[in-house]
Amino acid sequence: MMKTIFPGQTIGIIGGGQLGRMMALAAKEAGFKIAVLEPTMDSPCGQVADIRIVAPYNDETALEELAEVSDVITFEFENIDYDGLKRLTEIAYVPQGAELIKITQDRIQEKITISQSDCPIANYIACQNFNELVQNIEKVGYPCIVKTARGGYDGKGQQTIYSADDLELASPLFEHSACVAEAFVPFTKEISVIVQRNVQGETYCLPIGENIHVNHILHETIVPARINNKTAKLAVEAAEKIADYLQLIGTLAVEMFVLEDGTIVINELAPRPHNSGHYSIEACNISQFHQHIRAICGWPLRKPKLWSPSVMVNILGQHVMPVTNSLSKYPDWSIHLYGKQQAKKNRKMGHVTIMTDDLDHTIKEINDSAIWAE
């Protein structure tokens, strides 16, 4: 089924976080109404929505209500209830479907899918329990990273293992779910490609972002990524291959490692707009959020263009006051705060985008600034 959704109609969003908020703001610019399903009352997306349904993501009555008020439904994060979403596809228009969520909720399924799309991944083993890990660890060797197959983000749900002596550290992960153990990849950079595809199969990638993490949390994204043309071509080809294999509708963020020789290895997928694509709100002729809305509504996509080199920096809880106190010093910064009430340490509260003619100088300025000190 393929539909075109027009301004004045309602887009339903499952999930009320900052990605939903920025989707909603993009949609509202084009005259759409927004309905959001989210368990908490004063969510970032709920603050800007026309209709708020406050209920768990697997609440059947709430899902039916969302279906009733929405002309098209999308989601802003992957850890929603697959069975509920599957049922929703039977009573509402959900162009992205539910299978993409099923795949990206489970690292084992995700790795199988990436391999089937003929893209490179790190050597790994899938283990249902800790004993299976111990028996098979030699297949990946040391060092390796053990990750829960389900759940986990921003460094949660994973453990680096440097030798057999460390193996016991991974044992608690199996209380949550099966796990994968991945061989450590000696990468030089982490990059991400955000690929977007509409119901007609039209596909574009945003300019490639280079991602710098601090304590497993994305700190900054540098665009364009500081990689050569060969690596950029491999990265875009891989993202488009995966999108085609999945028959993607909407948005897929493909996180990759860049190796010493310029080749790439796929790390993870996220079936939604991504933190590393926030720069596109100011720095491109089309943001990841506007393009996502176009994709799910059956509109033609716009070919992304980067207006100028840019750096996006996350504002965590500990950065909110230093950033707001520095507003007068940095008139060129674009500041986004997400409407979260509690500024907890390491909680993503917003981001800053800095468009620049001198990327190296801007990166140095950020790195030297006391604002981002832990």
Token representation of residue 32: 């759409």
Amino acid at the residue 237: E
Other CB atoms within 10 Å distance of the CB of residue 22: 26
Distances (CA, A) of 192 to 8, 51, 141, 189: 34, 33, 27, 10
Cis ω on the peptide bond leading into residue 39 (within 30° of 0)?
no
Token representation of residue 239: 């993202």
Q: What is the pLDDT of residue 176?
A: 83
Q: What is the pLDDT of residue 373?
A: 80
Structure confidence by residue, pLDDT tens digits, 188-243: 999 999 999 999 999 999 999 999 999 889 999 999 999 999 999 999 999 999 99
Give the separation between CA 101 and CA 12, rounded to whole angstroms: 17
Q: What are phi and psi of 193, to 5 degrees?
A: -115, 125
Ramachandran quadrant class, 250 (left: phi over 0; alpha: psi -120 to 50; beta: rest): left
Q: What is the pLDDT of residue 151?
A: 78
Cα atoms in the 13 Å half-sphere on the side-chain side of 326: 17
- The rounded Cα 114 to chain-centroid distance in angstroms is 16
- Residue numbers of the chain with a pLDDT score lower than 50: none
Q: Are strands 51-54 and 33-38 parallel, antiparallel or unpaired?
A: parallel
Structure confidence by residue, pLDDT tens digits, 300-326: 999 999 999 999 999 999 999 999 999
Give the separation between CA 227 and CA 210, rounded to whole angstroms: 8
Is residue 11 within 8 A of residue 35, CB to CB? The reply is yes
Give the separation between CA 78 and CA 102, rounded to whole angstroms: 9
Q: What is the pLDDT of residue 254?
A: 98
Q: What are phi and psi of 192, to 5 degrees?
A: -140, 145
Is residue 272 within 8 A of residue 251, CB to CB? The reply is yes
Q: What is the pLDDT of residue 104?
A: 95
Specify the 3-state DSSP secondary structure of 311. strand
Specify the 3-state DSSP secondary structure of 121. strand
Specify the 3-state DSSP secondary structure of 338. coil
Q: What are phi and psi of 78, to 5 degrees?
A: -95, -15
Q: 330: buried, middle or exposed (CB in 10 Å: 19+, 13-18, 0-12)?
A: middle
Q: What is the pLDDT of residue 157?
A: 85
Question: Cα torsion for 51, 74, 353, 277, to the nearest 10°?
Answer: 170
Give the separation between CA 44 and CA 114, rounded to whole angstroms: 32
Which domains does the chain possess? 10-94 (3.40.50.20), 123-183 (3.30.1490.20), 187-372 (3.30.470.20)
Give the separation between CA 167 and CA 107, rounded to whole angstroms: 20
Is residue 68 within 8 A of residue 234, CB to CB? The reply is no
Amino acid at the residue 194: I
